[in-house]
Structure 1
Amino acid sequence: MGEMVSIPVEEYQRLLAIAEGVSDVLAYNRAIEALAAGEDELLPSAFAHRLIDGESPVRVWREYRGLTQVALAEMSGVNRVQITNIESGTKTGSVETLRKLADALRVSLDDLA
């Protein structure tokens, strides 16, 4: 076993709090860098809440991008009826279909799944 140091519990807890603060700052910096590099984007809270509440991600992202179902169908090559079915939850869509929609919406496949 290596060298050991004993410190009071209060000092240990203070050091833990500092470490958590440093971790938060690093996470913040990574998020800011991803935004600046165009690797991520901010989503208004109204749209984020819709996603959190379980609304169809395809619908939320489509509306956020200001697209109609017809426009998304044209951009993605996915039939408008398929988009309607995916948005309503009656169909899930194949991975290939979701990939086309994700590319057209400029989001990751994970954002739609």
Structure 2
Amino acid sequence: MAKKQIAAAQFITTATGDRLAVIPEAEYQRMLEALEERADEESVSAYKQRLADGEEELMPAEFADRIIKGESAIRVWREFRAMTAHELAEKAEISAGFLSQIERGERDGSFETIKKIATALEISVDDIC
């Protein structure tokens, strides 16, 4: 891809002695877009590295879509992890009945309970809140 010719800048000096570059607005917008694209590329690169290092994981769309549609994130993550409610409850040190009520939205767990569930699922609290 050929590089676009950069427009010539006009330089002015303010009354306080600051030297400013004046460029056409279209050139300014092009520079902003280039910076945003570079930031996006760096973010993707960093994510790929975290994924390669095992610090990130991918969830299939079928599971992510269920969360997006409003299904209990705890239930979806539990099923993604191929755990039964009893297994998760035991690992989180709560009753299976209480976990079931949380998954159905009938009860809210305390922050400590949610933290235990997240730890048992090996995810962050943000992933289920």
TM-score, structure 1 as length reference: 0.92
1:9 to 18, 25, 44: 25
Q: How many residues align?
A: 113
What amino acid does structure 1 have at the position aligned with 2:39? S
- Structure (1 or 2) with the greater helix fraction: 1
Determine whether 1:48 maps to 2:32. Answer: no
- Which consecutive aligned stretches of 4+ in structure 1 deviate over 4 angstroms post-superposition? none
Map 1:32-111; keep pairs closer than 5 Å: 32-111=48-127
- Structure (1 or 2) with the greater strand fraction: 2
Q: Which moved more, 1:103-112 or 1:80-89?
A: 103-112
1:104 Cα deviation after fit: 0.8
In structure 1, stretches of 5+ residues that fail to align are none
What amino acid does structure 2 have at the position aligned with 1:95? F
1:37 Cα deviation after fit: 2.2
1:29 Cα deviation after fit: 1.4
C-alpha deviations, 1:2-53, integer Å up to 9, x for none?
2111112221121111111101111111211221222221111111111111
- Percent identity of the aligned residues? 42
User: d(CA) in 2 for partners of 1:18 and 1:112?
Assistant: 35
C-alpha deviations, 1:41-85, integer Å up to 9, x for none?
111111111111121111010000001111112222110001100
> Relative contact order (alpha carbons < 8 A, sep ≥ 6): 1 or 2 greater?
1
In structure 2, stretches of 5+ residues that fail to align are 1-15
